[in-house]
Chain A
Amino acid sequence: MDEARTGESGQLIDVVYGPGAVEGWDAAEKLGEPGGYPFTRGVYPSMYRGRPWTMRQYAGFGTAVESNARYKQLIANGTTGLSVAFDLPTQMGYDSDAVLAHGEVGKVGVAIDSIDDMRVLFGGIPLDRVSTSMTINAPAAVLLLLYQLVAEEQGVPAGRLTGTVQNDVLKEYIARGTYIFPPKPSLRLTADIFAYCGAEIPKWNTISISGYHMAEAGASPAQEIAFTLADGIEYVRTALAAGMDVDDFAPRLSFFFVARTTLLEEVAKFRAARRIWARVMREEFGAKNPKSLMLRFHTQTAGVQLTAQQPEVNLVRVAVQGLAAVLGGTQSLHTNSFDEAIALPTDRSARLALRSQQVLAYETDVTATVDPFAGSYAVEAMTDVVEEEITALIARVEELGGAVAAIERGFQKAEIEDSAYRIARETDSGERVVVGVNRFRLETEEPYEPLRVDPAIEAQQIERLAKLRAWRCGERVGDALTAVRRAAGGSGNVLYPMKEALAAGATVGEVCGTLREVWGTYVPGDTY
């Protein structure tokens, strides 16, 4: 008999699962029908038979010109939704000419300083015919408004816009690091975005409550789901406290998870997540609209599992990870490029990543029937076990006073760092095999030429900022920023004055700088 095997969440995995796993089990109660409470089997009745997942490849680098070209290429290659990656200065609310932006402009995503850049980013892309997800958090309102303004210039009314802003600041404090303001004003801004979209951009997904980044930081599947759903609970409470009705905003909440190569546990994880969220929304928040109970989510294949050694092997990893997401019922999927651990994708590696999804969608039969693992002894047992683990962790966060209180104590971060350290030790010892890294290595790696971002980009952006300051009316911008400052200090929805400012040519840095003046910046407590 071989030694014990544990899953990623620490649970034991049986050598063989049998009928005992589903004994005394009411399928109607545990699973429900696909598209019906508790949505274990999926959020829609026919899932991919009725509606394929969106193939949404995250992309962006350099200036808006390069990114616009890459988006058009992806659309030509068959992507069905856009996903914008912004550079770090933009994500942190700084302009390309800020001191802190030096060396960072255009490196991890596209540099957007103003409406001029946004217009170029979507030039020739009709915004009533694409759905766009923007990975932007602390400055999400700014980029959302710029998108709306560009759509207006194209003649597209806001009511026709579809897409998402990630807008999940709680996970930034926990795992991703692009926070600006402290929690309280950040949550106020989040609630303002919910309300603004409800009134002005009703088809927009206002938030993508994320666990992907926590998983990349080291979280186990149970931690990933638990801390994400706990964040979700905090956002729901925030919106309710701001006076919104749960069924008004909950249908537009969405989620974002990882897909690892440990396929069985991942499928179990997704099923458990849906079941738990449906129960929370119905029992704790009394939501009545079925759409309020649905955990709709985007998935990205796990970047952290990809290696710089023998990078072509990553194509295989991504295929398995993508399969896990599809078997788990994702609504939208990004598959990483094989050179992910080395640099941003080249045209070729980006195309291959997309092709991975197309093979899954068109050449396999996993889309032919809904939730094919339902009733599987192993997967149902795993779903139940991970559900227990997740529920217990959510309870711990609640005991600490909820997600924000727990964040301020560093709870989630400490738990995740413990997992990360354990994984590092297991990898060092070889207990955790990483093909090409600690086993099946090559004596000499083949050289790989990565994508390079042209360093001239920074100078180009700075020039564009000079052009912007030339055409805009400084006084109008100044007045608009004063209105933003006033709104931020009061209780009105800040997005309305922000839109005015951005239309007048205020930059991302100027708007965020104004908010920083009023709200301050977040100082974490994990230094030592």
Chain B
Amino acid sequence: MSVSVPRIPLPLPLRVVVAKPGLDGHDRGAKVVARALRDAGVEVIYTGLHQSPRQIADVAVQEDADGIGLSVLSGAHMTLFAALLEELRRRRAEDITVFGGGIIPDADIRPLLDLGVAAVFTPGTPTRDIVGWVSTRLRTGGRPAAGQETL
């Protein structure tokens, strides 16, 4: 006699990589966002400083991340976001949502969005807004909703 166990569709936590690309060493924003996401139930992978876009893409793919948050304060954002998106394209991992923040002039936000960055959070953005965005946007744009996965 077989016993059938009902499958309980548990919601899977979001997995987000928070990364510091390039040479900038200021990690306060990244660490605050990482912690706020964790407190909200997101599984956060923090890469540490001085990561190349290639390293970040590797980690995101290995960790089966739903999203990558980049923090850039050094003015090198156009180069770094573009490079990361390219690395994800090469790995056919474009379903990983890229977002970020830092010191980014208003005039650069549209070009970043046009490149494929999903959102840019600049100084003064409440942390809860970032968490809210991540939990809404990645849920709909990322992995399949709970209950639809096959074993």
Give A residues with C-beta under 8 Å from B.
88-89, 91-92, 94, 100-104, 107-108, 172, 176-179, 216-218, 304, 307-309, 341-344, 417, 420-421, 424-425, 427-428, 434, 436-438, 447-448, 450, 452-453, 524, 526-528
Cβ of B32 and Cβ of A420 under 8 Å apart?
yes
Cβ of B22 and Cβ of A88 under 8 Å apart?
yes
Q: What are 20 contact pairs spanning A and B, CB under 8 A?
A: A88-B22, A100-B50, A103-B76, A104-B24, A107-B75, A177-B50, A178-B25, A179-B25, A216-B26, A217-B28, A308-B123, A342-B103, A421-B36, A424-B127, A425-B127, A428-B126, A450-B105, A452-B105, A524-B49, A526-B48
B80 nearest CB neighbor, chain A only: A103
Q: How near does chain A come to B71, taking the closest CB pair, in angstroms? A: 12
Chain A residues whose CB sits within 8 angstroms of the CB of B45 once the complex forms: 528
Cβ of B32 and Cβ of A92 under 8 Å apart?
no
Chain B residues whose CB sits within 8 angstroms of the CB of A304 once the complex forms: 28
Q: How near does chain A come to B107, taking the closest CB pair, in angstroms? A: 8
Known A309-B124, A420-B31: A177·B49 in contact at CB below 8 Å: yes
Query: Which residue in A102, A421, A453 is a CB contact (below 8 Å) of B79?
Result: A102
B122 nearest CB neighbor, chain A only: A308
Chain A residues whose CB sits within 8 angstroms of the CB of B80 once the complex forms: 103
In the bound assembly, the distance between CA atoms of A107 and B124 in angstroms comes to 22
Cβ of B74 and Cβ of A216 under 8 Å apart?
no
Q: Which one of B75, B105, B127 has the highest number of Cβ atoms from chain A below 10 Å of its Cβ?
A: B75
Measured as residues with beta carbon below 8 angstroms from the partner, the interface class of chain B is 20 to 34
In the bound assembly, the distance between CA atoms of A343 and B35 in angstroms comes to 26
Known A88-B74, A103-B80, A428-B126: A420·B28 in contact at CB below 8 Å: yes
Q: How near does chain A come to B130, taking the closest CB pair, in angstroms? A: 10
Cβ of A417 and Cβ of B31 under 8 Å apart?
yes
Residue B86 at the chain A interface, CB threshold 8 Å: no
Query: Which residue in A92, A218, A453 is a CB contact (below 8 Å) of B23?
Result: A92
Chain A residues whose CB sits within 8 angstroms of the CB of B52 once the complex forms: 100
Give B residues with C-beta under 8 Å from A.
22-28, 31-32, 35-36, 44-50, 52, 74-76, 78-80, 103, 105-106, 122-124, 126-128
Q: How near does chain A come to B32, taking the closest CB pair, in angstroms? A: 5
In the bound assembly, the distance between CA atoms of A434 and B127 in angstroms comes to 14
A90 nearest CB neighbor, chain B only: B23
Q: Which one of B23, B50, B80, B128 has the highest number of Cβ atoms from chain A below 10 Å of its Cβ?
A: B23
A102 nearest CB neighbor, chain B only: B79
Additional 9 contacts, C-beta under 8 A, given A92-B50, A177-B27, A341-B103: A88-B22, A309-B124, A344-B75, A417-B32, A417-B35, A420-B31, A421-B31, A421-B36, A528-B45
Chain B residues whose CB sits within 8 angstroms of the CB of A526 once the complex forms: 46, 48
Known A100-B52, A424-B36: A218·B105 in contact at CB below 8 Å: no
Chain B residues whose CB sits within 8 angstroms of the CB of A107 once the complex forms: 74-76
Chain A residues whose CB sits within 8 angstroms of the CB of B27 once the complex forms: 177, 217
Q: How near does chain A come to B129, taking the closest CB pair, in angstroms? A: 9
Known A308-B124, A309-B124, A342-B103: A104·B23 in contact at CB below 8 Å: yes
Known A307-B124, A308-B123, A343-B105: A524·B48 in contact at CB below 8 Å: yes
In the bound assembly, the distance between CA atoms of A304 and B79 in angstroms comes to 25
Q: How near does chain A come to B40, taking the closest CB pair, in angstroms? A: 12
Chain B residues whose CB sits within 8 angstroms of the CB of A309 once the complex forms: 124
B20 nearest CB neighbor, chain A only: A177
A452 nearest CB neighbor, chain B only: B105
Q: How near does chain B come to A210, taking the closest CB pair, in angstroms? A: 13
In the bound assembly, the distance between CA atoms of A304 and B124 in angstroms comes to 11
A427 nearest CB neighbor, chain B only: B126
Q: How near does chain B come to A78, taking the closest CB pair, in angstroms? A: 28
In the bound assembly, the distance between CA atoms of A343 and B104 in angstroms comes to 8
B126 nearest CB neighbor, chain A only: A428
In the bound assembly, the distance between CA atoms of A434 and B125 in angstroms comes to 12
Query: Which residue in A307, A421, A434, A438 is a CB contact (below 8 Å) of B35?
Result: A421
Chain A residues whose CB sits within 8 angstroms of the CB of B76 once the complex forms: 103-104, 107
Q: How near does chain B come to A432, taking the closest CB pair, in angstroms? A: 12
Chain B residues whose CB sits within 8 angstroms of the CB of A453 once the complex forms: 75
Query: Which residue in B23, B36, B47, B127 is a CB contact (below 8 Å) of A88?
Result: B23
Chain B residues whose CB sits within 8 angstroms of the CB of A452 once the complex forms: 105
Chain B residues whose CB sits within 8 angstroms of the CB of A344 once the complex forms: 75
Known A104-B22, A107-B74: A437·B124 in contact at CB below 8 Å: yes
In the bound assembly, the distance between CA atoms of A91 and B26 in angstroms comes to 13
Cβ of B32 and Cβ of A421 under 8 Å apart?
yes
B34 nearest CB neighbor, chain A only: A528
Cβ of A527 and Cβ of B28 under 8 Å apart?
no
Cβ of A104 and Cβ of B26 under 8 Å apart?
no
In the bound assembly, the distance between CA atoms of A441 and B124 in angstroms comes to 11
Q: Which one of B28, B44, B48, B127 has the highest number of Cβ atoms from chain A below 10 Å of its Cβ?
A: B28
The 9 lowest CB-CB distance pairs between A and B, nearest first, are A177-B25, A103-B79, A107-B75, A88-B23, A103-B76, A527-B48, A308-B123, A437-B124, A424-B32
Chain B residues whose CB sits within 8 angstroms of the CB of A527 once the complex forms: 46-48
Chain A residues whose CB sits within 8 angstroms of the CB of B123 once the complex forms: 307-308, 341
In the bound assembly, the distance between CA atoms of A453 and B105 in angstroms comes to 12
Chain A residues whose CB sits within 8 angstroms of the CB of B106 once the complex forms: 447-448
Chain B residues whose CB sits within 8 angstroms of the CB of A343 once the complex forms: 75, 103, 105
Cβ of B105 and Cβ of A176 under 8 Å apart?
no
Known A438-B126, A453-B75, A524-B49: A103·B28 in contact at CB below 8 Å: no
Q: How near does chain A come to B121, taking the closest CB pair, in angstroms? A: 12
Known A417-B31, A524-B48: A100·B105 in contact at CB below 8 Å: no
Cβ of A100 and Cβ of B124 under 8 Å apart?
no
In the bound assembly, the distance between CA atoms of A179 and B50 in angstroms comes to 10
